[in-house]
């Protein structure tokens, strides 16, 4: 059977933590930031774990992660 291909878009967006959970960045921090208050932008800097409902879908696109 041939090797599976990694979805390159997913590989750039998700990473694995030390305990094997999937980490992602929060949305809404790319552009149109002038109208957003600092209080709203500050929590967007932290990364977050992928929800349990989406883990299997993300792992399917990253077979070697």
Residue 22 pLDDT: 97
What is the pLDDT, as a whole number, of residue 65?
85
CA distance to 16, 18, 20, 21, 25, per residue, from 59 (Å): 10, 16, 11, 10, 16
> What six digits make up the tokens of 31?
């552009």
Any idea where the domains of the chain sit in the sequence? 8-61
> Does the 8-61 domain belong in CATH 4.10.410.60?
yes
Give the closest residue to 45 by CA, choosing from 27, 63, 22.
Answer: 27
Integer Cα distance of 65 and 39 in angstroms? 34
Q: What is the pTM of this model?
A: 0.85
- CA dist 64 and 45 (Å) reads 27
Query: Would you state the pLDDT for residue 10?
Result: 96
pLDDT at 44 over 90: yes
């Amino acid at each position: 059977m041939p090797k599976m291909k990694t979805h390159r878009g997913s590989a750039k967006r998700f990473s694995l933590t030390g305990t094997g959970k999937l980490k992602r960045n929060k949305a809404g921090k790319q552009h149109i930031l002038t109208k957003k208050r600092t209080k709203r932008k500050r929590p967007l800097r932290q990364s977050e774990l992928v929800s349990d409902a989406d883990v299997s879908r993300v792992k399917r696109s990253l077979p070697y992660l």
